[in-house]
Amino acid sequence: MGFVIKDMCILKKNLRVFVFVTIGVMVLGVLFVLSARYGNVADMLEEMQDEPLAQEFVLVGAVWMVLILPLAFLSIVVECFKQDTAAGFLKVRRSLPVSCVEVVGARYITTILLAAIGLTGSLFAGFMVSLASDFYSYPVICQFAVGMCSVIFLYNMAIFPFYYYFEDKKPDTILVMPLLAVYFCCMYYMIFGDGAENDTFLWRIMEKVSQWLTKYTFLLTILAVAGGGISFATSYLIEKKKGGKKNERAVL
Amino acid sequence: MENVIEVNGLRKQYDGFALKDVSFSVPMGSITGFIGQNGAGKTTTIYSILNIIQQDAGTIRIWGKDPVQEEHAVKEEIGVVFDEMGYHDVMTPAQLNKMMKYVYRNWQEETFFSYLERFGLSAKKKCGKFSRGMRMKLQIAVALSHQPSLLVMDEPTSGLDPIVRNEILDIFQEFVEEEEHTILLSSHIIGDLERIADKIVFIHQGELLFSDHKDRLLEQHGILRVKKQEREIVRDEDVVSIRTSAYGAEILVRDREECRRRYPNLLMEPATLEEIMLFYVSRGSQMLPCDVPTDHEGQIGG
């Protein structure tokens, strides 16, 4: 619990910024849907007529707007690892009467809390969007948000053991590794898959991802929970058996 | 006297550095000063005691307990102060208090805030905005607020101005007024240890040079100031080390009273802790293993 408080204190500044991001996302989400429904909002306010945007655009844009929140909240967890290293907290941590389970567990609890905050904001923003739009029902947006949150959570779970393994070495490289994997998947799709013959392949990817997320929400949620468990066990073992020895130079 | 810390045959190897069979003890109720140059192995020894790093060989006992096997129980009783703060710059002492409440079973919130008040530290100010002296005081406040019986400190006074150093040393002396309280304090500021330490452990290039009570060290060692031609009079077995200059030599002897009787015509002066340390360092590589003084009561030198 003490380390969760510490993590939250470290992230306080980021969280404060995210309050405004959340509000901004909600406002933009609603404006986006209004634009899609009635055309350019600025023109509409000046009582001018404009053509509504394509439904495909709404499909991708409005919902993705809602999904920024879990992504934003979960992406800041890695800041805790960086800050711990920068402050030299490693040696302090090892001098305290706390077990490895408590140390590693605290970071995972922080992640779950941030995922919950991000998802709550996302669901609320999704609700606002659904009120302004009849393109999507709220349950569909919820499915999309939960699915996306699970994917981002899984991403975090995948990189955490690397942080415990390398601790103070190249944290940004660790962060980029899973993104590179996604990038190569997209490249593969673009070169060898359907994307090769499609001009708007990016939109198609986003659309496919949207459909996929809503279709497999439950599976993704289960995977996120299981992935979290596996990641925690791996990080714990690294911290307990390998971490201490590997990182002696870091504390000296 | 019961020992709180017992270190036996401690070894740790790094690239270009090795801690070689370091053995010493820290008696209960005392302030033990751990001295040595930068890179001598003080921090490595302290980190091994705290189980922050793993030693290659040797045993460490704290209150007779294995600090690895009974890590949790042992660390509950130890207050630690590092040379650098280690707390996050964005955190405030008030937030540290919230964190530590869940870390230490015996955390005393009132004690912590009373120390903050005594040290003139604002509970709401971010740690990053504190000066070096304030950061040290904050660490000491944290270290003392969970009722520890042992304080282990790695260079807590380095880089501080004399007034703050003095203040901090007073706090340490206050801490050991309680009979069961003990301090192990590493420093390369000999003056500080000369003032407060009861026992001195001196490490040089990863090897223990001596470990004895400060008063005994100061009582027994002496410096003979001789002219060049008088150097030959002094027997080798009395000599710890010699410093020569154009006009004469300074000889550190290991038994001042005996040498005073043996060489009544030579000028004998008491040696300071700093001089003892410098002479032992200058002798350094010429020392034979049997010369290395250990923790035997009353025995200094070979």
The residue ranking higher by pLDDT, B281 or A92, is A92
Note the pLDDT tens digit of each residue in B200-228.
Answer: 998 888 888 888 888 888 888 898 888 87
Per-residue pLDDT band for B285 (boundaries 50, 70, 90) equals: very low
Give the pLDDT of residue A187. 64
Average pLDDT, stretch A117-136? Answer: 76
Task: Using the predicted structure, report yes or no on whether residue B46 has a pLDDT greater than 80.
Answer: yes
Whether B299 has a pLDDT exceeding 70, the answer reads: no
DSSP for residue B174:
H
> CA A92, CA A87: separation in Å to the nearest integer?
10
Task: Walk across the sheet containing B3-14 and list its strands.
Answer: B17-27, B3-14, B57-62
Position A139, amino acid: P
User: What would the pLDDT profile of A15-40 be if each residue is shown by its tens digit?
Assistant: 888 888 878 877 777 777 677 666 66
Q: What confidence score (pLDDT) does residue B161 get? A: 80
Tokens matching residue A101:
């389970």
* Contact status, residue A41 vs residue A183, Cβ threshold 8 Å: no
A95:B91 CB<8 A = no
Instruction: Report the pLDDT value the prediction gives residue A172, as an integer from 0 to 100.
Output: 63
Look at residues B38, B44, B35 and name the one whose alpha carbon lies nearest to residue B12.
B44
Is the pLDDT assigned to residue A133 strictly greater than 50? yes
Q: Give CA–CA dist A183/A163, Å, rounded.
A: 21
A176 — pLDDT class (breaks 50, 70, 90): low
Q: B52 and A91 in contact by Cβ < 8 A?
A: yes
Q: Which of A91, A105, A103, A74 is nearest to A175 (CA)?
A: A74
Residue A101 contacts B where some CB pair is shorter than 8 Å: no
CB contact under 8 A, A94 and B51: yes
Q: Which residues pair with B213 in a beta bridge?
A: B199
Quote the CA–CA distance of B98 and B293 in Å, as a whole number. Answer: 47
Which residues touch A7 (CB under 8 Å, ≥6 apart)? Answer: A77, A80, A106, A107, A110
Q: Is residue A141 within 8 Å of residue A130, measured between CB atoms?
A: yes
- CB atoms under 10 Å from CB of A30, counted, come to 19
Question: Which of A3, A5, A96 is nearest residue B75 as measured by Cβ atoms?
Answer: A96
- What count of other Cβ atoms lies within 10 Å of the Cβ of residue A96? 21
Kindly report the nearest CA distance between residue B75 and chain A, in angstroms: 5
Mutation target to probe the B interface, by most B beta carbons within 10 A, among A1, A7, A9, A239 is A9
Domain ranges of chain A: 2-251
Q: Tell me how far CA of residue A237 lies from CA of A234, B36, B223, in angstroms.
A: 5, 37, 57
* Residue among B3, B78, B10, B15 nearest B42 (CA): B10
Residue A206 structure tokens: 């986003």
pLDDT of B287 strictly over 70:
no
Cβ proximity of B230 and B190 under 8 Å: no
- Among A120-129, B82-91, B281-290, the range scoring the smallest mean pLDDT is B281-290
Phi, psi of A236 (to 5 degrees): -60, -45
User: What pLDDT shows up at residue B95?
Assistant: 92
Segment B240-252 shows an average pLDDT of 83
Choose among A84, A98, A252: nearest Cβ to B44.
A252
- A-chain residues within 8 Å CB-CB of B73? 97
Average predicted confidence (pLDDT) for chain B:
84
**Length reported for chain B:** 302
**In what helix (H) or strand (E) does residue B153 lie, and over which residues does it extend?**
strand B150-154
pLDDT of A211 strictly over 90 = no
Provide mean pLDDT across the span A232-248: 72
Are B148 and B77 spatial neighbours (Cβ–Cβ below 8 Å)? yes
Q: Do B61 and B212 form a contact (C-beta atoms < 8 A)? A: no
DSSP string covering B279-296 = HHHHHGGG--GGG---S-
Chain A interface includes B219 (CB < 8 A): no
Cα–Cα distance measured from residue B149 to residue B77, given in angstroms and rounded to the nearest whole number: 6
pLDDT recorded at residue A250: 47
Q: Is residue A179 within 8 Å of A100, Cβ to Cβ?
A: no
A11 close to B (CB below 8 A):
no
| Closest to B143 in 3D by CA, of B190, B187, B186, B96 | B96
Where are the alpha helices (H) located in chain A, listed in sequence order? 2-10, 12-38, 41-45, 55-75, 78-87, 89-95, 100-132, 138-166, 171-192, 201-215, 217-237, 244-246, 248-251
Tokens (6 digits) for B192: 């500080």
